[in-house]
Every structure is written in C-alpha cells, then in structure tokens.
Amino acid sequence: MSQNSVIRNAECSCGQVNIVCRGEPIRTAVCHCFECQKRTGSVFGVQARFHKDQVSYFGDMIEYSRIADSGNEVRYSFCPKCGTTMLLNLAALPDYLVVPVGVFNQQDLPQPSFSVYEQRQHGWVKFDCQIEHYS
C-alpha cells in the first residue's frame, strides 16, 4: 500500500463535522503549552500536521483565533454544536493543517516524533518511546 493510498477519517463528537486525510502526516507532535492544555481539557495536546492538499473537511465550523507565544496567529476550527476542535491553522505555516489526533476514527497514526513546551509539562507525564524534546 503506497503512502498516498492511506485514508484516515476523523469526526467531531456529534458527527456534524468530518475530515478526510490522505497519506501520512508530515509529523505528529505532543504539545504541553497552556493553550493546548486548555483546548483539550487534558495535560497536553497531540496533533498531526498534514499538507493542506491532503485534507478535506465537511460540515460547518466556527473559528477562534489567538496570538501564540511566537507572535503568530493560530486559528482553531471547531464544531459549533458539540465544541470539538477539528483543525488548527498556523499563520506561520499557511500550507499546512493540523488535526488533533483524538478526532481520528483510526488509531494508526505514527507516534509523536517530538514534544514541545516541556517546561509546562506536568511532572508525572512520562513517555516510553523515542521522542525529541524541545523546551
């Protein structure tokens, strides 16, 4: 099976928003920043970055925009009915879309290749896989 033949589906909690991703993600990552903790309601976020040509989405979404620590804009697209975050758009990387790993129906994405904002990582969080660490 070629990389381009891999198709993964994602959907929000209520099923109103659907995403189809073709091929492998550019990368997957763990983020411990306070905003990902707030966005997920958990202690970190895990997301997969795809080239925008790999991603199709269906259903109405609303957006929330904020300025990241880097000074760049981050836009969150989420379901207006159930509130599930479905996409992140990074102004610094306009050719890519970021999809939270938890919305995928399949559990076959590559393990995260790196971890960021570890200075905000909860002390009890540990990973037993090879992962690059960035503060």
pLDDT tens per residue, range 51-92:
999 999 999 999 999 887 778 899 999 999 999 999 999 999
pTM: 0.83
9 pLDDT above the threshold of 60: yes
The architecture CATH gives domain 3-123: Alpha-Beta Complex (3.90)
Average the pLDDT over each of 8-12, 97-101, 127-131 and give the range with the smallest value.
Answer: 127-131
For residue 83, give both structure tokens: 């509130």
* 3-state secondary structure (DSSP) of residue 14: coil
Separation of alpha carbons 88 and 85, rounded Å? 8
CA quadruple 80, 85, 86, 87: dihedral positive or negative?
Answer: positive
pLDDT tens digits for range 37-60: 688 777 667 899 999 999 999 999
**Token pair for 78:** 């989420």
Domain boundaries, the chain: 3-123
- Rounded mean pLDDT of the chain? 84
Instruction: Quickly count: other Cβ atoms within 10 Å of residue 65's Cβ.
Output: 10
